[in-house]
Amino acid sequence: MGKLFAAILTLVALASAYPIVTHMYVQPVDISTHGHAIDEQLSDTMAEAGFAFLGAQLLLALFVWRFSNRKNGSNVKHLPGGAKLMVATAFILVGTEVLALGVLGQKAWADVYFTAPKQDALQIQSQAGQFAFYFRYPGADGKFAALHPDKIDEGNGNYFGLDLANDVEARDDIVTAELAIPVNREIQLLMHAKDVNHSFYVRELRIQQDFVPGLDLSVHFTATKTGKYEIVCTQLCGLGHYNMKAYLNVLSQEDFDKWLREKASEQ
Amino acid sequence: MEEAVVQTTHVHAPPEGFIRKHVFSLDHKVIGKQYFGLALVAVFMGMALSWLMRFHLVWPNTKVPGLDLLSSTGAPGGVITPEYYLSLMTMHGTLMVFFVLTNAPFAGFGNYFLPIQIGAEDMAFPRFNMMSFWVTFVAFLVLILAFFIPDGPPISGWTAYAPLSAVGKDAGPGLAWGQSLWAISIAIFCVGQLLGSLNFIATTLDLRTKGMTFMRMPICTWAWFITSAIGLLAFAVLLPACLLLLLDRMAGTSFFIPSGLVISDRLQNHAGGSPLLWQHLFWFFGHPEVYIAILPAVGIVSHVLITNMRKPMLSAKVIIYSMMSIGFLSWMVWGHHMFVSGMNPSSSLLFSFPTLTITIPATIITLIWLGSLYGANIQLNSATLFALGFVSMFVSGGVSGFFLAQPSIDIYLHATYFVVGHFHMVMGVAAIFGILSGTYFWFPKMSGRMMNETLGKLHFWITFVGTYCIFMPFHYLGLAGNVRRYSSFVNDFMAPLMPVHKFISIAAFITGAAQFIFLFNLIHSRFRGKQAPENPWNATSLEWSIPSPPPWDNFGGKHPVIYHDPYQYGVKGSKGDFVMQDSPEQV
Amino acid sequence: MASSTYPPAVSPPRLGGPERASRSGIWVGIFAITMSFAAFTSALYVRQASGDGVHIVLPPVIYANTLALVLSSFTMEMSRRRGARALVPEALGLRNGMGWLVVTLILGLAFVAGQYLAWRYLAAQGLYLATNSNSSFFYVFTAMHALHLFGGIAALVYLIGRLASSHRTFRRSQFDTTAIYWHFMGVLWL
């Protein structure tokens, strides 16, 4: 039974590690400027975790193999070094891991959150509501008009609650259901929640940030590859949560300008 | 066996009559079994809910025969709607975390064995103890009631984030009375747990018998003691949170709801609240809660391993101090559930450090287990198998936590199946293995009969391999960006991942089915099992010095005297290879 | 392998037992209640930080209530000390614990009545539970305190009942724990 346990455990441990080592999970391509730091962090952690995982499981298997249901059973012996060795090992192993990954890994986090957006970053506002994302571009005056929740009228396309009748700044704002951005240009995404918590997640951008009702949050990023990428909601927001998505369309600067002009004329 | 015959003032009179003996009993052993029974019912319900979820994810348009009888709105024609999926998910989480993982290893086994292991006749406050169970039972009933109301159970997850959970029915089905019943149930549950923790702490501090110093208490007793201290403070925070949530829902206050929200085309009449406040309050409770779920299992597994290794741990003291540090650190890490929640990013970094630091005591405990196995004489019965399986699962689950502890990686992995894989590994598998190990170990003492070993081993093998098959792939899905809490997978990038989901669902059905082997074994052995001796495992702690099952006052009115710690195994020159705690034999 | 073995030849008397457990119990309970109120307080701080609170003027009766509660702690203490000395209380009077206990109870009930007046005062100003965040917190805090105080009042009634009954016996621990709890209610209020 001991040998069976050891064998099955070894099999399970190796089978668990296999898809990781062979990269069977398909991690999406990184299209952001800050993403490589995150990806590096992830693969470093994976290596350390893999080492710890396999080491522990195989050691467990080995000891169960060697020390179970022994014939001359009464001769139990103790690991040389005893508890002190285990404690020291834990501190050294984990201590160095924590140092390496925790401390050195701060940079990846700082890249996203502790750097201010550039002065000429393109500001786009996004609104998350049950169960769709909408986006607003400031238009020719470069200003975002004030929002009035009581004026929201989805039936007539007034998703943000703009006071089109009285507010001059509102009339040139461009509202779309798709987030188109120019490539290689820093974007500052202002995030507004209409009703409950939502979240903005684009796997390829390595960005995830919750929308919180009542809070003015924003993220900034730069996309480095053109293409169409899915934006999905990752904070449970109700029955339509699974279907709440939009598209991030990274375009060349020319194509983006053309797109924006088209959208402006459609308003 | 020398026993000091001291005064026989009983804490309560011997029970008379069926009601007093089996229903409204003051006896901690009966109360422990009642908790265990409640957890058993809850776990099978939770498992059934998970089957429905796994079924729907892979076969979304296939009908489940008979489900429309439970809810005609949630599953018209037997096909689960998106909102009903979320209801099932919410109830699954709530039942499992509260009514299984807090009940069975802690309230169940702890109530039964803590007084015995310290040589006491009963808990310090038997009436409070009885109340704590029945309060928990009422909480259970209130929760289950949510299944039977027209609007159905809540859809906000076991975490019930505001404002989704706070604004009422405008935000979706299940969020009217369903959500209120949830909050009321959990608030009642908190009261039950507080009464229970009160008992555990007072009993451990004051009712230890002669010679039972703190360091002579078995590791599992320590685990229950530390857990009850954590529980006391954790549930004392959840209760106010639920009350404030109920006030927002029913009294028009705005603790968690800001102004200007438009839901279902209606401007909500609230102002000034903070959704993040709910998250802080909830997770301040929620993180210690998961340690409440795992620490008793750590204690039980240590206890089972020591007995079945026929040698002590390299250092029981180190394990105990490590459990205490985990308990202490658990109060400082709650923000790691909120890295991308909109909280100050500096706070996120601050929270990540204690989170990473908790790895240290957890690793120490794991290494002590592994190191102690060296040179042991492992007796491989069902209890031991599950205990060893626990060690494996604890490593697996712990290692995935290491990823999530880092905010930068969490940007990518938050709210994906990676997180779901992590917490299921530690809670859904490891903690359950701890409970199962304890069950196989203590069943003979509790019922006076042995469980069937063959069935036990069969149960182990299917469950061990099965749970790896279910939950390891969750991590791969997460790494690919598979988002959680989705009732269907309609994203473009999900199509190539569906075969993995199918594999998981099938593994889940098989593994779940194997649990009926355990249930059968439990029930059959209760009535037809072989008679159990007083000490079938040749163990040293006090529960093995009394008859199986124990008499109503545990020690027959006598107070045992303790001479040793419970780790006297492999003792040279003793009769057999062990010395019991209450034996005056010198070592 | 070193381990703790024999107890010393003459072991110290065990201090444990149900009496002491009640004491531990009440402190544990106090700890838990403190934690709950800490949770409410932290919620208050978070709310105040958002700066939209309207200042509430405290009803004057609150000061009278505070005095009443503090006084009641004194009377409770008097009762406890007298009660400890008089093992068989002969009469209901200020000489023994019983009288002071009754005074404590009266002060406690006066406090609750005063709280009710405070609430009516606020309501007259249009300040209800949901009116604004500060009023919400005022009602929640005072209601929670009053709820726990009722527990203390119930314990007082129980003690008085036992003292007044023909048995005239009580466990010393019950007296002490009730006293500790009562003082805690005062501290919490302050």
CATH number at residue B442: 1.20.210.10
Residue range of the domain that includes B394: 80-257+269-545
B206/C20 CB distance under 8 A: yes
Q: How large is the average pLDDT for residues C118-133? A: 79
Q: Is A42 on the interface with B (CB under 8 A)?
A: yes
Q: Which of A264, A212, A248 is closest to A32 using CA atoms? A: A248
CB-based contact B193:B132 (threshold 8 Å): yes
pLDDT at B492 over 50: yes
Angle at B330 between CA B327 and CA B333, to 5 degrees: 165
Q: Which of B536, B551, B540, B550 is closest to B583 using CA atoms? A: B540
- B206-231: string of b/e by CB count within 10 Å (b at 16+)? bbbbbbbeeebbbbbbbbbbbbbbbb
Is residue B8 a part of any domain in this protein? Answer: no
Mean pLDDT of chain B: 91
**B contacts of C28 (beta carbons < 8 Å):** 197-198, 201-202, 232
DSSP A219-241: EEEEB-S-EEEEEE--S--STTG
Residue of B nearest to A52 (CA): B399
A76/B407 CB distance under 8 A: no
DSSP A82-95: HHHHHHHHHHHHHH
- The neighbouring-strand residues paired with A208 are A201
Q: Is A54 exposed, middle or buried (0-12, 13-18, 19+ CB in 10 A)?
A: middle
How many structural domains is chain B composed of?
1
Number of A/B CB contacts below 8 angstroms equals 315
Q: SS3 of C9, please?
A: coil
> What's the pLDDT score for residue B183?
96
Report DSSP state, residue A246. Answer: E
- The neighbouring-strand residues paired with A153 are A158
pLDDT at B164 over 80: yes
Q: SS3 of B483, please?
A: strand
pLDDT, tens digit (0-9, with 9 covering 90-100), for B529-552 = 999 999 999 999 999 999 989 988
> What's the pLDDT score for residue C1?
37
CB-based contacts of B79: which residues, under 8 Å, 6+ apart? B60, B61, B62, B63, B64
Is residue B412 a part of any domain in this protein? Answer: yes
Residue of A nearest to B273 (CA): A214
Query: What is the architecture, at CATH level 2, of domain A122-266?
Result: Sandwich (2.60)
Is residue B294 a part of any domain in this protein? Answer: yes
B406/A95 CB distance under 8 A: no
pLDDT, tens digit (0-9, with 9 covering 90-100), for B55-107 = 999 999 888 888 888 888 888 888 899 999 999 999 999 999 999 999 999 99
**B contacts of C32 (beta carbons < 8 Å):** 194, 197-198, 232-233, 235-236
The C-alpha of B252 sits at a distance from chain C's nearest C-alpha, in angstroms, of 5
Give the whole-angstrom CA distance, residue B189 versus residue B185.
6
Task: Estimate to the nearest angstrom the gap between the alpha carbon of C9 and the chain centroid.
Answer: 44
Q: Among C6, C33, C42, whose Cβ lies nearest the Cβ of B563?
A: C6
Taking the alpha carbons at both ends of chain A, their separation in whole angstroms is: 73
Q: How large is the average pLDDT for residues B26-50? A: 95
pLDDT at B329 over 70: yes
Is residue B275 a part of any domain in this protein? Answer: yes
pLDDT, tens digit (0-9, with 9 covering 90-100), for B36-47 = 999 999 999 999
Is residue B577 a part of any domain in this protein? Answer: no
> What's the pLDDT score for residue C17?
61
| C56's tokens | 């509430």
**B contacts of C35 (beta carbons < 8 Å):** 232-233, 236-237
CB-based contact B347:B410 (threshold 8 Å): no
Q: Among B11, B277, B567, whose Cβ lies nearest the Cβ of C18?
A: B11
DSSP B358-379: THHHHHHHHHHHHHHHTT--B-
Give this prediction's pTM.
0.91
Is residue B31 a part of any domain in this protein? Answer: no
pLDDT confidence bin for A157, thresholds 50/70/90: confident
pLDDT, tens digit (0-9, with 9 covering 90-100), for B405-443 = 999 999 999 999 999 999 999 998 999 999 999 999 999
Q: Among B260, B395, B409, whose Cβ lies nearest the Cβ of A41?
A: B409
Neighbors of chain B with 3 or more C-beta pairs under 8 Å: A, C
Place of tokens 């997640």: A201
Give the whole-angstrom CA distance, residue B534 versus residue A106.
57
B563/C31 CB distance under 8 A: no
> What's the pLDDT score for residue C52?
60
